[in-house]
Amino acid sequence: MKRLTILDLQKKKDQKEKIVAVTAYDATFSSLVDAEVDVVLVGDSLGMVIQGQDNTLSVSLEDMVYHTKAVARKLSHAHLVVDMPFLTYQVSKEKALQNAGELLKAGAQSVKVEGGVEICETIHHLTQLGIPVMGHVGLTPQSVHQLGGFRVQGKEAFQKDKLLRDAKHLEEAGAYAVVLESIPQDLACDMTQSLRIPTIGIGAGVGCDGQVLVIYDLLGMDPHFKPKFLKRYAHLARDIQAAVQTYAQEVREEKFPTEGHSFH
């Protein structure tokens, strides 16, 4: 199967075909989602869903390289984009190039960075040197403390104007797509219409060119995480707990293993 490229993703927008993206962090999930989606994102959300942190700030480049290698090994179709973690691209464009290069060497086809106009010089630098970049605006989790929490962005008029300008600057700097996270639907529609490049929404309503969700969220792995934007397509927390409960009970009652599970 042919791996999707950034040109294929642009073609999807041009042909009004929705782009489907999901996160993955390991080889097992990677092989399960590969044929079903267009884009796999190794998100720095792994800091929260894999490492159990409260936010994404402590994720390192080494963490991302490790998970990227595992995910990349099992992809034969989907495009692989990988998050650049906090402080691996903000300090200087030279450092950003070095770090983005490490992610590409690990198997990423492109990288994702958070921010608007302030990050455009770096995006221009990376794209000029052959590294495709996806932007990310709206609720940018690496700025959680500046934003005062994980809150919907772009509700105020001045925020709307800034987000529209930021997205346009990202496109002009060379970004091939942009994630719109937790912004009002009308604003996401305006941004999508004003951009040539695809928008990928999460909590940004129906008008985006594509959608992305964290795989653990869409599978219902956290019974307590119920944001408005999320639809759960399975209830694995319940199923996993029930399976492990049955296993534990059967071991204690000496119902597992049976003779049939034993070597003779």
**What are the residue ranges of helices labelled H in 3-92?**
6-14, 27-33, 46-49, 61-72
Q: Which is nearer to ligand KIV, 106 or 212 (CB)?
A: 212
Does position 23 interact with ligand KIV (CB under 6 A)? The reply is yes
- Any long-range contacts for 98-101 (C-beta under 8 Å, 24+ apart)? 99/61, 100/126, 100/131, 100/133, 101/131
Residues 170-199 binding ligand KIV (CB under 6 A) are: 179, 181
DSSP 3-state of 22: strand
User: Which amino acid makes up residue 73?
Assistant: R
Q: Which of 83, 166, 171, 209 binds ligand KIV (CB under 6 A)?
A: 83
Could you give the count of Cα atoms lying within 13 Å of 256 in the half-sphere of its Cβ? 8
Residue 87 or 264 having the CB closest to ligand KIV: 87
Q: Which of 102, 114, 171, 181 is catalytic?
A: 181
Q: Is 181 a catalytic site residue?
A: yes
Options 37-45, 70-78, 143-151, 231-239: segment touching ligand KIV (CB under 6 A): 37-45
Q: In degrees rounded to 5, what are phi and psi of residue 45?
A: -55, -15
Residue type, 143: S
What is the C-alpha separation between 264 and 260, in angstroms, rounded? 10
- Kindly tell me which residue out of 12, 30, 33, 45 binds ligand KIV, with binding defined by CB under 6 A: 45
Residue pair 123/170 in contact by the 8 Å Cβ criterion: yes
Residues forming a β-bridge with 202: 181
Return the number of the residue (59 or 96) whose C-beta is nearest ligand KIV.
59
Q: Which is nearer to ligand KIV, 93 or 229 (CB)?
A: 229
Q: Does 202 bind ligand KIV (CB under 6 A)?
A: yes
Residue nearest ligand KIV, Cβ-based: 43
> With contacts defined by CB under 6 A, how many residues of the chain interact with ligand KIV?
11
Polymer length in residues for the chain: 264
Kindly list the residues in this chain that would bind ligand KIV in the complex (CB under 6 A).
Answer: 23, 41, 43-45, 83, 179, 181, 202, 212, 214
Which residue numbers are catalytic? Answer: 181
